[in-house]
Structure 1
Amino acid sequence: MLNPLEFTVENLSTELKTWLDLDNPEHQAKIIKALSALYNVNGGRLIIGFCDDNCRPDLERRPEGDVREIYSIDFVLLLLHRYCSSTFPVTLNFWKKDGLEYPVFNVGSGVKKIIGIKKPLMMGDKMLIQQNVAYVRAFKAGKFETKMAEYDEMNFMMEICIDNREANIARFMRRHFDDLMQQFTALNQVSDDIDLYNPFQNFVLNSRQRFLYNAGPKLNRKFAYLEASVNLNHKCIGQSLDGRFLERFLGANRNLSGWPFWLDVRQEGSTIEPYDNCFEGYICRLFKDDSFQEQKSHLDFWRASPEGYFYHKRVLNSDLYFHKERCMDPVSLITRICEIIDASINFARVFYIPDDKSANINIVLSGMKGRKLESWTDYVYHLPLGSPCESDQIDLDICIPVHTSLKTVSVLIYNHIKEVFSYFPGARLDNKLINDIIQQIRGRN
């Protein structure tokens, strides 16, 4: 699993807090509010030891001693049990950045009822947490924050609960009617030739040209690429190319992996620039003489348009980390496909795309001929990986209703990933692996 501290930014599912004293009631209140708010938006991460204004480590206030002894998951779970209306899954991991460890609380997904506060938290005469309220992550005044839920946030949280209940029904249907459901959900669509009179296809073509303009001088050898283009089939309501559109776009990304699609490249020292009614983000970090350092080299380019068009192209991680090997990690690929679908659904939500619309997602893997499947990011899964790929390019066309959720479309995802595996003779895949990975990336396990 990629290090979540490699790319730290606040969004709906990630909150950054400076160092907290768990013996301080005011800091206890912050922990309770943050974790319950994350669960109410279907899970996320609370990262301790980072400044929320610049998303950098807070070294000045770092406590002395071993942070593993200072931060106890048992004590935090006791606080949640004491003050929250119901228990919910929270785990604690410690990740390193620049040689120092930081606590990361992982809040599971699958909320089916809103978590509220059942008991007030007091410090003398001061009320730190009010009884009978609920907290939520929200985008307000140009930034993300944890706040007491109001009417609009209650509707948003209820939609998440309903989605998760529908996911339970979908799992029941898959368990008992899997073969029948696969026949009805085979929604694969065939890509047509690019039509320059089609605004979206013209956007994709221009995006590919802009990628070559930015990255071309850096491509001193042949790489394999993963490209995603998304059409919401509706303009982003009330949006123009301004800061408000940019922050909503970046905030919609739930950061399901350590280096997500459509990442905020500003946090990595790069810039986001407007061009041709789009925002463009580009980061190229390649070490000289092919001396790539694991999980340090990246080449990414993305575009976002208020027309409801989104594009991202990146070099496959395996080409940057193991540049002498022509391989592709199946678990990483499945995670990326799920991440692209999840981001597309969230783009539709934050930009108020009507529920009757569908998102068209095109995923292209290029430079694949002779490449083999090889698990190197997660050794838990042992798959029959088959023979090297016989085609240089793999295209996936996915059509998904914008009102759905990632959990409810695992059969659809299974069909498309099975199509990818078919390019590697002898490779096999089962639906349980898809479900496990979806649970892992949504629950941050």
Structure 2
Amino acid sequence: MAADRDQIRTLVQQPVEALQLELKTWIDPRAADGIAKIVKAIFAIRNRNGGFLLIGFDNASLLPDPYAFDEPVETVFHVDVIQGLVSRYTSPSFEISVTYQDRDGQFHPVISIPEGVTVPAVIRRDLAGNGGKKLLTEGDVYFRTFNTNGTASSARIMPADYADLLDVCFENREADIGRFLRRHLGGVGSAATLATALGLESKSTQLRNRAFAVIGIGKSASDDAMQAAATEEERKRVKDALTMHVAMVLDPIKPDALPTQDFLNRIASSNPNFTGWPVWLDSRGFTDKKSRPYVVDRVWQACLVDLDGGWSQHMEFSRYDPQGEFYLQRVMQDDLTEKVPPGTALDVILMIYRVAEVLAVGTSMGRALGWDIESEAGFAFRWTGLSGRTLRPWVNAFRSFGTSGNQSRSASTDAFVQVPIDTPFSALAPYVASAVAPLFATFDGYIPSAELVENSVRKLIERKMD
């Protein structure tokens, strides 16, 4: 897993435990008990289809712990040391990487565990500690799962977790026929025809209407929150900025659901964290208390404003309704960067990444919140601030797709796509293509190739974005 530097930096600056992100205090990879903890964590994340292990953090406070060793962190947690533990205790073996990221003058190891597991990682030999106590047992399987209070933890796999583990393996093998069909039919004309033949059109219409209603409600709530959270100058700066409005609605509605901490824990823990600043992120650990989520009318809300010119600028608003309705409003990076003048550009591949992330995170949340695997998620998109903007690969000028200069004369556009929540990440490309098509068509009729979308989605889920 080759995470980019911005993602690693964000993970260390704003760590939040999730199914694919675990925090550990300073543990000694040279001592038996430290080896056992590291191996269990890495194996559990591997079996959850990859992620990250951050060392040197208290998982309760999410704050850094004082460094515990005499030797430099790069020596104690050298990649050869950690890779040696993986190779010695796992079957089959896999390759990890280690990055060292500074926070407050102290470097922290970030161990990246690759995705793509098709056979579960299993402990291949015993490890005994002081007094002969067995710390690792040959044949054990570890897995990242939710415990009783809804937070993520690494533990010996329980019977209830085997379905998830098998899903991960099957998804990577693309051996499930139903998912294979969705990969080739999802979000395209033939899928719509199939839905009509099966009598699902009315459900699709209901989801669409609900989703766009949520965009209206969310936009109104965002306006109120931004009035209080942002200065007049900040609001003026983004008045005509490129903004993505997203609503996700889950079927069926859960009318009695409450905005509990357990609900928020499951949202946070299920986020795959594909990017350094993921959609529907958990801001409970943010230093700025104004950025933390709060409850209004039985719905969690969070308003994040940071336009001070630091290493990362953001302006967004989120709503999390436990009944099954979610909203996100985000000012896009195209207008928060110094690489291009505001109001002038839209990077095609960057937008594909963001839309794919919305679908991946949304369906992952739906599964974690207990919606049945046969449930559907309806995603409504609205993009504003398009007029006068041109397609331009400003993130990486070398990844040209032959359309630089295509201009939009539309102020905004909408899209809707319906996704089964058990759709594997690797099968999301057709849905992403369907979602972005109306947006890109406003730019002189441009439609990205299926290959471009497929490759971009793959890079996102493999965390190999360029």
TM-score, normalised by the number of residues in structure 1: 0.87
Instruction: Report 1:110-121 matches (<5 A).
Output: 110-121=116-127
Secondary structure in 2 aligned to 1:93? strand
Counterpart position of 1:242: 260
| Separation of aligned partners in 2, 1:342 and 1:351 | 14
| Separation of aligned partners in 2, 1:53 and 1:65 | 26
| Separation of aligned partners in 2, 1:235 and 1:381 | 42
Q: CA RMSD in A?
A: 3.3
**Which is worse superposed, 246-255 or 95-104?**
95-104
Q: Provide the aligned length of Structure 1 versus Structure 2.
A: 433
Shift of 1:339: 1.1
Structure 1 portions without partners, runs of 5+: none
Work out whether residues 265 and 282 of structure 1, in 8 Å CA contact, stay in contact via their aligned partners in 2: no
Shift of 1:321: 2.5
Counterpart position of 2:375: 357
Corresponding residue to 2:146 among 139, 154, 178: 139
TM-score, normalised by the number of residues in structure 2: 0.83
Counterpart position of 2:310: 293
Counterpart position of 1:429: 448
Q: Deviations over 1:246-286 (max 9, x none)?
A: 22222221211111111112222322211122111111122
Shift of 1:139: 1.8
Secondary structure in 2 aligned to 1:11? coil
Alignment pair present for 1:228 and 2:272: no
Shift of 1:416: 3.3
Shift of 1:300: 1.6
* Residue type at the aligned position of 2:390: K
| Separation of aligned partners in 2, 1:240 and 1:368 | 37
Shift of 1:66: 4.8
Aligned-pair identity in percent equals 24
Alignment pair present for 1:38 and 2:45: yes
CA spacing shift, 1:96–1:372, aligned 2, 3 Å: farther
* Residue type at the aligned position of 2:28: D
Secondary structure in 2 aligned to 1:206? helix
| Separation of aligned partners in 1, 2:398 and 2:27 | 34
Instruction: Report 1:204-215 matches (<5 A).
Output: 204-215=215-226
CA spacing shift, 1:239–1:164, aligned 2, 3 Å: farther
CA spacing shift, 1:75–1:61, aligned 2, 3 Å: closer
| Separation of aligned partners in 2, 1:228 and 1:353 | 20
Instruction: Report 1:4-403 matches (<5 A).
Output: 4-6=8-10, 7-58=14-65, 60-61=66-67, 63=69, 66-98=72-104, 100-124=106-130, 125-142=132-149, 143-166=151-174, 183-185=189-191, 201-216=212-227, 218=231, 219-221=235-237, 222=239, 223-236=241-254, 239-268=257-286, 269=288, 270-287=291-308, 292-295=309-312, 297-322=313-338, 324-326=341-343, 327-378=345-396, 381-386=399-404, 387-403=406-422
Secondary structure in 1 aligned to 2:8? coil
Shift of 1:54: 1.9
Q: Deviations over 1:356-403 (max 9, x none)?
A: 321110122110111223334446633223322222213221111122
Work out whether residues 108 and 444 of structure 1, in 8 Å CA contact, stay in contact via their aligned partners in 2: no
Q: Deviations over 1:307-353 (max 9, x none)?
A: 11011111112322238332223332122111110112112211222
CA spacing shift, 1:398–1:443, aligned 2, 3 Å: same
Counterpart position of 1:409: 428
| Separation of aligned partners in 2, 1:436 and 1:36 | 28
CA spacing shift, 1:206–1:80, aligned 2, 3 Å: same
CA spacing shift, 1:57–1:72, aligned 2, 3 Å: same
| Separation of aligned partners in 1, 2:176 and 2:99 | 28
Alignment pair present for 1:3 and 2:11: no
| Separation of aligned partners in 2, 1:123 and 1:168 | 42
Secondary structure in 2 aligned to 1:384? coil
